[in-house]
Amino acid sequence: MKVTRRLITVGFAAVMAAGVAMPSFAADLIAIITPSHDNPFFKAEAVGAEAKAKELGYEALVLVHDDDANKQSQLIDTAIGRGAKAIILDNAGADASVAAVQKAKDAGIPSFLIDREINAAGVAVSQIVSNNYQGAQLGAEEFVKLMGEKGNYVELVGKESDTNAGIRSKGYHDVIDEYPDMKMVAQQSANWSQTEAYSKMETILQANPDIQGVIAGNDTMAMGAIAALQAAGKKDVIVTGFDGSNDVRDSIKAGGIKATVLQPAYAQAQLAVQQAHDFITSGKKPAEEKQLMDCVLINADNADKLETFALKD
């Protein structure tokens, strides 16, 4: 008889700070570890993975590493101590996370990575990531079109330790740099942060008031950029993002941000849990460790079909 077990969602730091003892073992537990849920993309990953785990009859332990590799290592220890059957992980750095994933493997716990890959093969069972280069090229093509193939622009780059930040930036420039009248006047990392993007944009505008566009490496940075632009009275600057969040969808529909690129956070997470279940129950591995999922351009033509990092039929 299939038993659906109660889901447990905890914040590790909060639990430890409160001095609450965590149960030592769960027979059918899947640990889901992501960056902060303040970013709706990572929250969608956790929600999608948790829902799939529940559907398949597992207990889920949802943890947040806040892009801190040391905290991530502690959370891996928690998963090991709890006897997790598998770990679903959106990691805290391509290099910094290899040892933590290897530690789980050495403890007999398979890891299934989503969104961000690590710089090692054969350590995780699978790495399911968006085709960030393909998506970035889609976004850049739309950005160039919106800009009329000319003008001064700013690029806001993601966290430098995150492989995706570099891949997206390269995808952008492999398109934009083909247009000689497109001039990048500033390029700065805002670390995927809306607050940081706002402050960086304020500073950039002081030195470069004459800009026509901003292309951001994710949606939260795009939201920060457009807020700073609007506060400065610059409502005609073209802003595009990358992720496909509901916040940016709403901005597109309201005539603010012009476009984004959807990467399927929810679907990636659910696929990872399904692959974990297949591995747990039969030892089946995916045909390829690294699996790419294509991205989709979102603009005013299809924004109304976007809901929580997925397109509705």
Contacts within 8 Å (CB) and 24+ apart, 16-22: 22/78, 22/81, 22/82
Range 8-128+266-292: architecture per CATH: 3-Layer(aba) Sandwich (3.40)
pLDDT at 27 (0 to 100): 57
What confidence tens digit (pLDDT) does each residue in 73-110 have?
999 999 999 999 999 999 999 999 999 999 999 999 99
Average pLDDT over residues 218-241: 98
What confidence tens digit (pLDDT) does each residue in 1-24 have?
333 333 333 333 333 333 333 433
Written as six digits, the tokens of 5 are 């077990």
pLDDT at 313 (0 to 100): 77
Range 132-262: architecture per CATH: 3-Layer(aba) Sandwich (3.40)
The model carries a pTM of: 0.84
Residues of the chain with CATH 3.40.50.2300: 8-128+266-292, 132-262
Q: In whole angstroms, give the CA distance from residue 231 to residue 201.
A: 11
- What stretch of H or E contains 59? strand 59-64
CB count within 10 Å of CB 16 equals: 14
